[in-house]
Structure 1
Amino acid sequence: MSDHICGTGCSHFSHLNDADLQAEFAEARHSLRTSIGGEKVAGKAGLGGVTHRPLPSKKQGENVSHYYIPANDKTIHWGYFSKSMEPLIKLDSGDYATIETVTHHSNDDIERMVKGDPGVESIFHWDAKHKAVDRRGAGPMDHPLGAGGGLGVHVCTGPVFVNGAEPGDVLEVRIVDTMQRPSGNPDYRGKTFGSNVASNWGFQFNNLITEPKGREVITIYEVDAKGEQSWAKAVYNYRWTPQTDPWGKVHPIIDYPGVPVDKHSITPNYDILKGYEIPVRPHFGMIGVAPVEAEIVSSIVPSYSGGNFDNWRMGKGATAFFPVVVPGAMFSVGDPHASQGDAELCGTAIECSLTGVFQFILHKKADLPGTKLFGLDYPLLETESELIVHGFSSANYLKEFGDSDDAAAEMFKKSSLDSAMTDAFNKTRRFFMDTRNLSEDEAISLISVSVDFGITQVVDGNWGVHAIIKKSIFPK
């Protein structure tokens, strides 16, 4: 098998050397909220402003395509994956897509993160008469908190249907580039903002040592929209106060996504984290394909098909591999972050809208033996120097617990780092035995002396542990 990792100088990325494609990506960087010139895609996607144009390929007689998918109320689905949705686009293996993603925490600071941005405004529009995106989560439409119940919270862009993808195949997703989404408010030109929430679902919530206990605190961070500054800084924080949504429902805690925060109801504290610089490492917290076990599945809980596994390494230059279990794979992406630490301890990262340039490569089942993708039944992440195996408290929680509210509650109670570590170890052992032809004894020794295990997240219901395999250990 090959341990090669693709980068921008790799021949696998030869399309990136084409002047047309370079110009296309440059245009995307300078005009994130304007569709690139090209033919509008028919159907649902065309209504959302999705465009397409063919691009020349290095291989004579072949073309690849580039699609641009803006984020707006017609191109996103809020809080769930579904194998039965109408896809935004259908593309071929090798094609590119520039995809805008928007954080579900934008309404934590409407002035900085919503105002003046038509796409974000269309997603979050909610007044006494109209709610632009009604379903938010995989719950029932008549849920007392609101349609979907907040049983799934992420604004997901997609799905993307990959032509020819069938169960048993593997979808490779290369993150070619990432771009911060600038504030649309002229008062904050050139800046991007994100929200970090110390929440009721955070690991710390029942272990606070200062009063008042049981508090939820939102911290707003500022990021350089041009990407020239490599660190973020805190602007202010505030304690969540009961918020009344436009339809009259009071939310004493953060329990439903996109509730607009009334700035007159909170007390901002600007005297925080003075002089601290947080390294910016843009990435996508939620990325994956649709599972097969249910029609509609919460975006919160990560699983074998990817989803919300919150690994900060899922950024520019990384490649993700997902097992295909439904026709077309049905890829979606969201939960964009400016930065996050392993564990995502308090409940969120710096939730900050982001645009990504992706390339999609389909690996057919018959071609997998003898490669690192053989037997892949979990999300595998590859960087320039590492392979990262993801383990969870439940490797496939839908199969183990089902998709009902009671089953989810049972899964949440049983989640532990012990079971996540066991799953990560089992997968890593199998990786070495199945793809490197090592004996079990060889694999165990190699894991113990060379593989680093880390806590991916402890806040998404199905806790995660990842194994970092350094590619330098492989025989040259």
Structure 2
Amino acid sequence: MCRGDDANCPQFELHYRAFREDLDHERRGFLKSSFVAAGGIATLGAAGASLVTPALAQATAAKSPAVPKSHYLPANADTVHWGYFSKSLKPRVEVDSGDIVTIETLTHHANDDAERMVEGDPGAESVFLWTKDKKGVDRRGAGPTDPKVYKKGSGEGQGVHVMTGPVYVRGAEPGDVLEVRILDCVPRPCANPKFKGKAFGSNAAAWWGYHYNDMLSEKREVVTIYEVDAAGAKSWAQAVYNFKWVPQTDPFGVVHETIDYPGVPVDHAKTSRNFDVLKGVRVPIRPHFGTLGLAPSEVEFVDTIPPNYVGGNIDNWRIGKGATMYYPVAVEGGLLSVGDPHASQGDSELCGTAIECSLTGVFQLVLHKKGDLAGTPLEELNYPMLETKDEWLVHGFSFANYLKELGAEAQSAIYGKSSVDLAMRDAFRKMRHFLMTTQKLTEDEATSLMSIGVDFGVTQVVDGNWGVHAVVKKAIFAGRA
């Protein structure tokens, strides 16, 4: 059944309007307060507390349509690319600065329990279709697509996330900054009537997890399926069952001893499901997008796993509803893609994954042109920056731009060169730069403030290019003119 996500449905417009009406009043209030009459683009937060100054907002509004348009991008086999970013991808929708785009995203772990996360959902069924004769999306990763070369499958799983998009922003050019406001972020309801009103996600404690070489007994991969209230009445997730990964044979006949290729259908006749798991434990949900970003310019196909200067797989649970991300534009149109949706995650994403759960997001995309950035906090932005109502946050990586720094073999070399120490140093340098350029502090002032008023945390240690974030509260600067 169409839920406002099937453009071919005769009643698509009716269903889409119903979907929009179902969004909660908080989001509608946010939308109302986000626009100004002239240009429809306002700064977020209190006056002077946003990276977008009033002057920059005015200059941006002057170049944008007076009334933002709304767009809908469903997730299906025709609108997703699996496991890679590419500057040559055909846009799935084109928007103007200030426009609002509702984007569906699917977790690449849905086939861990197809009954709960795929069955009855036309979009998911088209993406995860895999029979002995056909795959709904054949290429999964930035690796080889020649059957004579690959061993696990097309793309070799060198990149795992189901990415919806890309979205082309008209007028975006290298040197510009794209502001991405996350207006809403809601779970995708299970379409199987057996589980009405629920949504589900998967957490895989996998071989790439930080814990793996320190296990107390035999090394193993264990998948835990979690349940989420799709209506949002419950603010927590709870475990349904877990199972130990056992070798799975995919429909093409390849045996997967470990979780080494995305979307392999799990045959639960071969697993032993344990329903007595994490009883009485309620995990607070904080829906967010693990992978959100633009296309880099350096190479044609880029693995979605390591994050980079244009964003990507940052895996920060703060990138959810109410947050704003700023990205430097590297290619024409920016080419924004969204995926790796999470119901919840802790800092570090220790075991390799979060609660990987399909979500639908509502985004407003605002383009700030290079010529308008001089003298503003965004003038020298060359890394992904997060802003919330109360905080600014920079993301440091082991390598700020590994594609450039590690040369021709960067996409394989990165997995053996990351460290928390390198990521910490990058986060320190970026926060120092941020404080000196946006708050006009001296180096000595910035260094002192970072030690006493900035919180550094481990974002993730499982994405090839490890991450450390630095958080500074806006209230620290409340006494400044």
**TM-score category, normalised to shorter length:** 0.7 to 0.9
- Contact 1:102/1:336, CA 8 A, preserved across alignment: yes
- Contact 1:374/1:435, CA 8 A, preserved across alignment: no
Counterpart CA distance in 2 for 1:376 and 1:448 is 23
Shift of 1:263: 1.0
- Is 2:180 aligned against 1:188? no
AA in 2 matched with 1:104: H
Counterpart CA distance in 2 for 1:84 and 1:411 is 23
Q: Which residue of 1 aligns with 2:119?
A: 115
Counterpart CA distance in 2 for 1:89 and 1:187 is 34
- Is 2:225 aligned against 1:228? no
| Aligned-residue RMSD, C-alpha | 1.7
- Contact 1:294/1:403, CA 8 A, preserved across alignment: no
AA in 1 matched with 2:186: M
Residue 226 of structure 2 aligns to a residue whose secondary structure is strand
Q: What pairs up with 1:177-326 in 2 under 5 angstroms? A: 177-210=184-217, 213-326=218-331
- Is 2:420 aligned against 1:417? yes
Residue 442 of structure 1 aligns to a residue whose secondary structure is helix
Q: What pairs up with 1:408-447 in 2 under 5 angstroms? A: 408-447=411-450
Residue 243 of structure 2 aligns to a residue whose secondary structure is strand
- Contact 1:370/1:435, CA 8 A, preserved across alignment: no
Residue 264 of structure 1 aligns to a residue whose secondary structure is coil
AA in 2 matched with 1:77: H
Q: Which residue of 2 aligns with 1:19?
A: none
Shift of 1:397: 0.5
Q: Which residue of 2 aligns with 1:46?
A: none
Q: What pairs up with 1:113-152 in 2 under 5 angstroms? A: 113-142=117-146, 143-152=150-159
Greater shift in the superposed pair: 288-297 or 411-420: 411-420
Deviations 1:10-65 (A, max 9, x none): xxxxxxxxxxxxx977624759xxxxxxxxxxxxxxxxxxxxxxxx9944993321
Q: What pairs up with 1:87-126 in 2 under 5 angstroms? A: 87-126=91-130
Residue 453 of structure 1 aligns to a residue whose secondary structure is strand
Residue 70 of structure 2 aligns to a residue whose secondary structure is strand
Shift of 1:432: 1.1
Inter-CA distance 186–24: structure 2 relative to 1 (3 Å threshold): closer
AA in 2 matched with 1:283: H
- Contact 1:57/1:63, CA 8 A, preserved across alignment: no
- Contact 2:302/2:411, CA 8 A, preserved across alignment: no
- TM-score, with structure 2 as normaliser: 0.86
Inter-CA distance 144–167: structure 2 relative to 1 (3 Å threshold): same
Counterpart CA distance in 2 for 1:87 and 1:365 is 23
- Is 2:19 aligned against 1:27? yes
AA in 1 matched with 2:309: Y
AA in 1 matched with 2:109: H
Counterpart CA distance in 2 for 1:403 and 1:129 is 35
Q: Which residue of 2 aligns with 1:356?
A: 361
Q: Which residue of 2 aligns with 1:174?
A: 181
Q: Which residue of 2 aligns with 1:165?
A: 172
- Contact 2:71/2:101, CA 8 A, preserved across alignment: yes
- Contact 2:303/2:411, CA 8 A, preserved across alignment: no
Shift of 1:436: 1.7
Counterpart CA distance in 1 for 2:120 and 2:36 is 38
Residue 420 of structure 1 aligns to a residue whose secondary structure is helix
Counterpart CA distance in 2 for 1:146 and 1:280 is 34
Q: Which residue of 2 aligns with 1:82?
A: 86
Inter-CA distance 146–470: structure 2 relative to 1 (3 Å threshold): same
Residue 114 of structure 2 aligns to a residue whose secondary structure is helix
AA in 2 matched with 1:188: F
Q: What pairs up with 1:459-474 in 2 under 5 angstroms? A: 459-474=462-477
Counterpart CA distance in 1 for 2:178 and 2:18 is 26
Shift of 1:393: 0.2
Q: Which residue of 1 aligns with 2:45?
A: none
Counterpart CA distance in 2 for 1:73 and 1:28 is 23
Q: Which residue of 2 aligns with 1:43?
A: none
Deviations 1:453-476 (A, max 9, x none): 000000000000000011111125
Shift of 1:90: 1.2
Residue 350 of structure 2 aligns to a residue whose secondary structure is coil
Shift of 1:384: 1.0
- Contact 1:57/1:64, CA 8 A, preserved across alignment: no
Residue 254 of structure 1 aligns to a residue whose secondary structure is coil
Deviations 1:56-109 (A, max 9, x none): 994499332110011000000000000111101111000000000000000000
Q: Which residue of 1 aligns with 2:57?
A: none
Shift of 1:365: 1.1
Structure 2, unaligned stretches of length 5 or more? Answer: 1-14, 24-34, 40-64
Residue 78 of structure 2 aligns to a residue whose secondary structure is coil
- Is 2:73 aligned against 1:66? no
Inter-CA distance 448–26: structure 2 relative to 1 (3 Å threshold): farther
Number of residues of Structure 1 aligned to a counterpart in Structure 2: 427
Counterpart CA distance in 2 for 1:317 and 1:131 is 36
Greater shift in the superposed pair: 430-439 or 455-464: 430-439
Structure 1, unaligned stretches of length 5 or more? Answer: 1-22, 32-55
Shift of 1:225: 0.3
Q: Which residue of 2 aligns with 1:402?
A: 407
Shift of 1:367: 1.7
Counterpart CA distance in 1 for 2:424 and 2:446 is 16
Counterpart CA distance in 1 for 2:429 and 2:411 is 24
Counterpart CA distance in 1 for 2:252 and 2:199 is 30
Give runs of ≥4 in structure 1 deviating > 4 Å.
23-26
Residue 413 of structure 2 aligns to a residue whose secondary structure is helix
